[in-house]
Amino acid sequence: MKKDRIKLVEQLKHPLFFPNEGVGELPVGASLSSAPFFIYELSGTEQPWLSEEKGLPLIKAEWPRLKEQLERKFQQRDREVHNEAKAMIALFLMNLFWSNGQPVQLHDWKQRIRELSIKPVNVEERLEFIFKRPYSYHSYMQVSELMIEQEKQTAKYLAIKKKNKKDGL
């Protein structure tokens, strides 16, 4: 399988997702829900965050399968949830940033998120909790709720945008 060389950019530096700095490889056929995460930001070839019709459906396609896997592992008290938990958090971050028309930015993430207009209430504090305990059941539940809230906020924004376009505003 051919792999593209990638260099970790400053905006994606975060110990949860990329504990080692430097150059890595991006496997052909990589998905949104497997490491390395943030494949579009890393590859720089496509920018799905520039179009709601393109980027957000990619996330919605991955989310239910991943959520079901993690739910099953927690029900079975399986402690091997690291990959799925990181993937869920990554998908939420993609949803959060992409629904605001931006690539994921993990460096100085609190400030970046404060500047976003479409986001759940208290998202910075809730993500801080999640980043401190990324593999706990409580973090899983928090990410699930954040995803639902983000989808609602995005739907509201798109409805208002559509109405304003219809009204000629």
In tens, the pLDDT along 18-27 reads 877 665 666 6
Sketch the domain layout of the chain as residue ranges.
50-164
Which percentage of the chain shows pLDDT scores above 90?
62
Q: Is 90 exceeded by the pLDDT of residue 168? A: no
Mean pLDDT of 53-76: 92
Q: Is 60 exceeded by the pLDDT of residue 3? A: no
Residue 27: per-residue pLDDT: 66
In tens, the pLDDT along 119-135 reads 999 999 999 999 999 99
- pTM comes to 0.90
More confident residue, 59 or 18: 59
Report residue 20 as tokens. Answer: 């080692």
The CB density around residue 15, as the number of other CB atoms within 10 Å, is 9
More confident residue, 165 or 70: 70
Residue 33: per-residue pLDDT: 83
CB 44 within 8 A of CB 104: no
45-54, 76-85, 134-143, 160-169: least confident range: 160-169
**How high is the mean pLDDT of the chain?**
89
- Banded pLDDT at 1 (limits 50, 70, 90): very low
- Banded pLDDT at 169 (limits 50, 70, 90): low
Q: In the chain, helix, strand, coil percent, each to 5?
A: 60, 5, 35
